[in-house]
Amino acid sequence: MIELSSSFIAMAYVMVVAITVGAVAALLQKDLLRAAFISGAESIALAFFFQALLAPDLGLTQAIVGTVLLPGIIILGIFKTRRTEED
Amino acid sequence: MSAYPSNLWSIPLLVVIPILVAVVVNLVYNRVRLIKVISILSAVCLALIALFSSYGYHWFTGLPALRPETLTFTFDPSFPAWRLALEFYFGPLQQVMIFVMSLILIFVVAVASGGLTKRQGPYMGMIFLLFASAVIIIMVNDLYHLWIAVEIGSLVVAGVVVGSGTSVSHKAALKYTFFSALSGAGLAIALALILGLTGYSNISDAIRYLQSVNLGDMSIILYVAFAFFVLSWIYAGGLAPIHPLKSEVYGASFPHGTAMLQTQSKLMLVAIGIVMLRIFGTLPFVREVMLAISVITMMLGVVMALIQTDFRWILAYLIISHSGLVTVGISLGTTEGLVGGIFQAVNDVIYMTVLLLCCEALYYFGGKTSTRNSLGLAKKAPWLGMAVILGTMAASGIPPFNGFQSELILIQAALKVGLPEVAAVILMVSVTTFIALFRAVYRLFLKPPETSETVTEVKVPRALYIGLWFFVAMTLIIGVYPTIVVSFITPVAQAVSIPWYL
Amino acid sequence: MIEVTIQLLGFIAAAALVVIGIAGMLFLDNLIKKIISFTLLSDGVNLLLVALGYVEGGVVPILIPGMSVSEFATRAALVFPVGIVLTNIVIGVSTTAILVALAIMLYRRYGTLKASKVLKGERR
């Protein structure tokens, strides 16, 4: 049990960095499609974090919703409008 | 025990019927007659349920308390025990508010099926979901359902506004949805903070916990939670900093949609305001902050109403400023203040509905609502002209209409706690309301038209006139016999009131 | 020196996400970017709630055979925040869908996604 939680905390450190960097990187992209994909990657990191925080069911939900459904909706919007951000 | 029947039958019905109707009218989509029959019948049903239901609770989960002397379980709320429940309560205040709202729903639905909008089914479904969310917010006694209902309500408001289908309304809906996304997240954070501080999501349990322990340094967390609550409060009513957003929402939707939106928003203001008063009311500076927001809202709204040149926008800003009247009473927190504030909310939704239905009638006379053109409608439609003048008098607090009674109680409450400034602002609001409204009414209805147009046959739906005179009669009846509403409000006001300056 | 636990890391990440989300919603000019910021904000709120329910040295709240009820009651992570978060995920998806739909409608009308142009005040 001890080694399990210590491996979780190592994972949590990585995930904090991944989430923060992913969020900032998503918002800095000029290409909106890439921004949507990066926000999906950030969602995967969040799903692993939920796993570490003892909520594996939420991790599964977040993995599906955050990587497929939400970016899907946003990508649909991008295809109906325009792909790059105008100045 | 008989006074508090557990799991009352009417509470689930009040929530489930509107949701079911929303689903059904969505399915039948565009068969106007069927939609009209279904929605009017179910709205009448809701009014009857609210009128005849007994008072009581509905629990979703939680523990009944054990009476040690008889070893029986009880949900009696006066019995001191943690109940840990997600809880709905239907009492006198809920009864009067839901009854008035469902009366408005009946006529809004009847007018909405008159055919201003295409896609009848989804639009009607949105109106019913709006009703459902407001009912939940009024009855709820736990933070979880409060937050869910606020979120649902915000999405549905966007839907109703989009239903009127102009680019202005799309814009207003987008802006409002962005802000509601922010404030909904804020309310979720407030819920998380209170849950983390106390461990209870039931509001009564959380308050009892907060009273029983000394928080010390942790009370700063309560202030943060209060800040997020204020965010969702000003979002719900369109109070001071975001009054341009909310007035755009009111002005951009159809007038009958606005009637439902303003009803939902004012009753939400009352419900969330009472929750805030119960949780945070004893902290220092809390009620001062709420009072300041209310006074600024009243003044800004009424000043903005004076400079508008369109009847719809005048009404939109007046609704905002009268929301300020409601919140002044609640943020005073005394018994008289609470009675005045809640009574004002009930009166306000009634007389504003009269004015909004008159505005809706203008759509059938050519659709010009700008006060620049004088239509001389009082000659073409004398009954309409009379109704709009009566509505104006009710809105500006002239006896014997209902607005006078509640504003009188509010002014007395403000004077009693030693704030004559607030009383002066309330008086100013009522006078300025009269000026702003009467200017528009004179130009649109009374002034003879400059160009003599050929008189065309105009067909205003009968439901609109029936609703108009029904609500005018209600303003008069409540104005002459205010006790029929006040007697419902007073026990609640006495229960939650806190003396000003402890 | 505060001991670093997973819960504390969760609060830190949640605070970062909330701040980034709110800043993006307020200061970015592109409608789609604003919508992505909203999803980040709602992720942050979810993370705050889940971290709230974490119990140090606890177990996943599933009653495994062989575990006594009292041990379960003291060690299991809280489940109520999980219920709230599930609701919040659903609400986040529906809000995003509505926002994207409105953004598409306004793009068809104005031909741009810049919030400063699309949302400029204009009466009828």
Contact between C80 and C52 under an 8 Å Cβ cutoff? The reply is: no
| Geometric angle at alpha carbon C89, from C85 and C93, rounded to 5° | 165
Going by the DSSP 8-state scheme, the letter that residue A31 receives in this structure is: B
pLDDT score of C60: 83
Residue B433 in domain = yes
pLDDT score of B115: 62
Q: For residues B158-182, give the mean pLDDT.
A: 88
Report the C-alpha gap between C38 and B57 in whole angstroms. 36
Output the average pLDDT for chain B: 87
Closest CA to A11 of A55, A42, A46, A41: A46
pLDDT tens by residue, A12-21 = 888 899 999 9
Whether C42 has its CB under 8 Å from any CB of chain B: the answer is yes
How many domains does chain B fold into?
A: 1
pLDDT score of C4: 82
pLDDT tens by residue, B81-90 = 666 678 888 8
pLDDT score of B3: 45
Q: Considering only residues 186 to 205 of chain B, which have any Cβ-Cβ distance to chain C shorter than 8 Å?
A: 188-189, 191-192, 195-196, 201
Half-sphere exposure of C78 (CA within 13 A, CB side): 20
pLDDT tens by residue, B262-283 = 999 999 999 999 999 999 988 8
Going by the DSSP 8-state scheme, the letter that residue B311 receives in this structure is: H
Residue A85 in domain = no
Residue B451 in domain = yes
Dihedral sign of CA atoms C107, C109, C112, C114 in order = negative
- Report, at the CATH architecture level, how domain C6-118 is classified: Orthogonal Bundle (1.10)
Report the C-alpha gap between B186 and B236 in whole angstroms. 13
Q: For residues B59-85, give the mean pLDDT.
A: 67
pLDDT score of B148: 93
Partners of residue B73 on adjacent β-strands: B66
Provide the H-helix boundaries in B365-381. 377-380
Domain holding B355, by residue range, is 285-502
Closest CA to A57 of B5, B299, B81, C77: C77
Report the C-alpha gap between C80 and C69 in whole angstroms. 18
Best A5, A27, A68 member to test C by mutation, with max C CBs in 10 Å, is A27
pLDDT score of A2: 46
Q: For residues B59-72, give the mean pLDDT.
A: 70
Q: Tell me which of A86 and B491 has the higher pLDDT.
A: B491
Residue A75 in domain = yes
Is residue C64 exposed (0-12), middle (13-18) or buried (19+ Cβ within 10 Å)? Answer: exposed
Among candidates C34, C42, C106 on the partner chain, residue whose Cβ is nearest the Cβ of B178: C34
Report the C-alpha gap between B441 and B374 in whole angstroms. 10
Q: Do C123 and B168 touch (CB under 8 A)?
A: yes
Residue B67's φ and ψ, nearest 5 degrees, are -80, 115
Domain holding A61, by residue range, is 2-80
Rounded to the nearest 10 degrees, what angle do helices B483-496 and B92-112 cross at? 130
Measure CA B120 to chain center.
24
pLDDT tens by residue, B286-304 = 989 999 999 999 999 999 9
Q: Tell me which of B359 and B68 has the higher pLDDT.
A: B359
pLDDT tens by residue, C18-67 = 999 999 999 998 899 999 999 999 999 999 999 988 888 778 888 778 88
Query: Which residues in C lie closer than 8 A to residue A16 (C-beta atoms)?
Result: 9, 12-13, 16
Q: Considering only residues 240 to 299 of chain B, which have any Cβ-Cβ distance to chain C shorter than 8 Å?
A: 244
Contact between B202 and B87 under an 8 Å Cβ cutoff? The reply is: yes
**For residue B495, is pLDDT > 90?**
no
Closest CA to B132 of B48, B238, B21: B21
Residue B139's φ and ψ, nearest 5 degrees, are -90, -10
pLDDT tens by residue, B304-354 = 999 988 888 999 999 999 999 999 999 998 999 999 999 999 999 999 999
**For residue B454, is pLDDT > 80?**
no
Percent of the residues in chain B that have a pLDDT greater than 90, as a whole number = 50
Query: Which residues in C lie closer than 8 A to residue A70 (C-beta atoms)?
Result: 39, 92-93, 96
Q: Tell me which of C93 and B369 has the higher pLDDT.
A: C93
Q: Tell me which of B445 and B334 has the higher pLDDT.
A: B334
Contact between B202 and B287 under an 8 Å Cβ cutoff? The reply is: no
- Token pair recorded at residue B440: 């528009």
**For residue C83, is pLDDT > 70?**
yes
How many domains does chain A fold into?
A: 1
pLDDT score of B73: 66
Provide the H-helix boundaries in B253-380. 255-280, 286-306, 311-332, 335-364, 377-380
Q: Which amino acid is at B328?
A: V
Percent of the residues in chain B that have a pLDDT greater than 70, as a whole number = 92
Whether A39 has its CB under 8 Å from any CB of chain C: the answer is yes
Q: Do C50 and A53 touch (CB under 8 A)?
A: yes
pLDDT score of C99: 93
Q: Do C106 and B151 touch (CB under 8 A)?
A: no
Q: Given its phi and psi angles, is residue B119 left (phi above 0), alpha (psi -120 to 50 degrees) or beta?
A: left
pLDDT score of C37: 94
**For residue B23, is pLDDT > 50?**
yes
Q: For residues A54-71, give the mean pLDDT.
A: 91
| Geometric angle at alpha carbon A35, from C10 and C23, rounded to 5° | 55
Domain chopping of chain C, boundaries: 6-118
pLDDT score of B444: 84
Name chain A's partners: 3 or more CB pairs within 8 A.
Answer: C
Q: How many residues does chain C have?
A: 124
Residue A87 in domain = no
pLDDT tens by residue, B108-144 = 998 887 766 677 888 899 999 999 999 999 999 889 9
Contact between B414 and B406 under an 8 Å Cβ cutoff? The reply is: no
- Token pair recorded at residue C61: 């709240």
Half-sphere exposure of B396 (CA within 13 A, CB side): 16
- Token pair recorded at residue B25: 């009218």
**For residue A1, is pLDDT > 50?**
no
Residue A37 in domain = yes
Q: For residues B375-383, give the mean pLDDT.
A: 79
pLDDT score of B502: 59
**For residue B453, is pLDDT > 80?**
no
Contact between A84 and C33 under an 8 Å Cβ cutoff? The reply is: no
Q: Which range, of A62-66, B19-23, B359-363, C117-121, averages the lowest pLDDT?
A: C117-121
**For residue A3, is pLDDT > 70?**
no
Q: Which amino acid is at B346?
A: V
Q: Do C41 and B181 touch (CB under 8 A)?
A: yes
Among candidates C42, C48, C95 on the partner chain, residue whose Cβ is nearest the Cβ of B155: C95
Q: Considering only residues 5 to 24 of chain A, which have any Cβ-Cβ distance to chain C shorter than 8 Å?
A: 5, 8-9, 12-13, 15-16, 19-20, 23-24
Residue B501 in domain = yes
pLDDT tens by residue, B466-481 = 999 999 999 999 999 9
